[in-house]
Amino acid sequence: MKMQQTAALIALLSACYLQSPAQGKKPPINEPNYNKAKVFGDINDKQEVNITNLESLLKLPIGTPVNTTIATGFRLVGTITSKSNPEDLSVRSVVVKSTTRQNATLTFTKIIKQDGSVRYTGRIMSRDASDALEIIMDGNRYVVAKKGFYDMINE
C-alpha cells in the first residue's frame, strides 16, 4: 500500500512538472518601435530656452491650465498635473501634461545647490513619439535639444 501511494505521488508530481508552462516560455521583450511619428519636427535641433517662463510654472497650483512659450516658436499648452513637495526648498519640480503634441509631458526641475547656485533640468516626451526634447546646459545658456525617444528611455 505504501508503495502504491509513493508511485501515485511521483506520477502526480511528474505530470505537474511536465505540464508547467513556466519551464518553456521565454519572457516577452519590448522591441523599440522606430516608426512612431515625430512630435517635435518643427523645433530646431537646439534652441535657447526661456527659463523665466518655465520657472513661473513652478509657482502654479496643480490643475492650472498652462499656455507658455518654452523657446522661440515653441508653445506649451496643457495642464499642471504634479508638483514637488513645497517644503523641500532645494528642489522644485513641476509636471505639465500637454493637450497638444500627442499628450507629451514636460518635467521641469529647479535645483538649488548648497552654495546657492541654481541648475535646471527637464524633458519633454510622449510615449507615442519617436523624438523627445531635453533641457540641457550648452555653454552659458540652457537649450532644448532634440533626442531620440529610445536614446532616453529603455523599455
118-148 residue pLDDT tens: 999 999 999 888 899 999 999 999 999 999 8
Residue 52 has pLDDT above 90, yes or no: yes
The pLDDT value recorded for residue 136 is 94
Greater pLDDT, 155 or 91: 91
> With 70 as the cut, is the pLDDT of residue 15 above it?
no
Please check whether residue 104 is in contact with residue 39, taking contact to mean a CB–CB distance below 8 angstroms.
Answer: yes
Residues with Cβ within 8 Å of 41's Cβ and at least 6 positions away in sequence, in order, are 131
pLDDT at 21: 60
pLDDT of 19 above 60: yes
Does the predicted TM-score (pTM) go above 0.85? no
Q: Please give the pLDDT value at position 149.
A: 83
Q: Give the DSSP letter string of the chain.
A: -HHHHHHHHHHHHHHHHHH-GGGTPPPP-----TTSBPS-TTS-SEEEB-HHHHHHHTTSPTT-EEEEEEETTEEEEEEEEEE--TT-SSEEEEEEEESSGGG-EEEEEEEE-TTS-EEEEEEEE-TTBSEEEEEEEETTEEEEEEEEHHHH---
What confidence tens digit (pLDDT) does each residue in 57-107 have? 999 999 999 999 999 889 999 999 999 998 888 999 999 999 988 889 999
106 or 151: whose pLDDT is higher?
106
pLDDT of the residue at 24: 57
Inform me whether the pLDDT recorded for 155 exceeds 60.
no
Q: Are the beta carbons of 58 and 92 closer than 8 angstroms?
A: yes
- pLDDT of amino acid 118: 94
- Residue 28 clears pLDDT 70, i.e. is over it: no
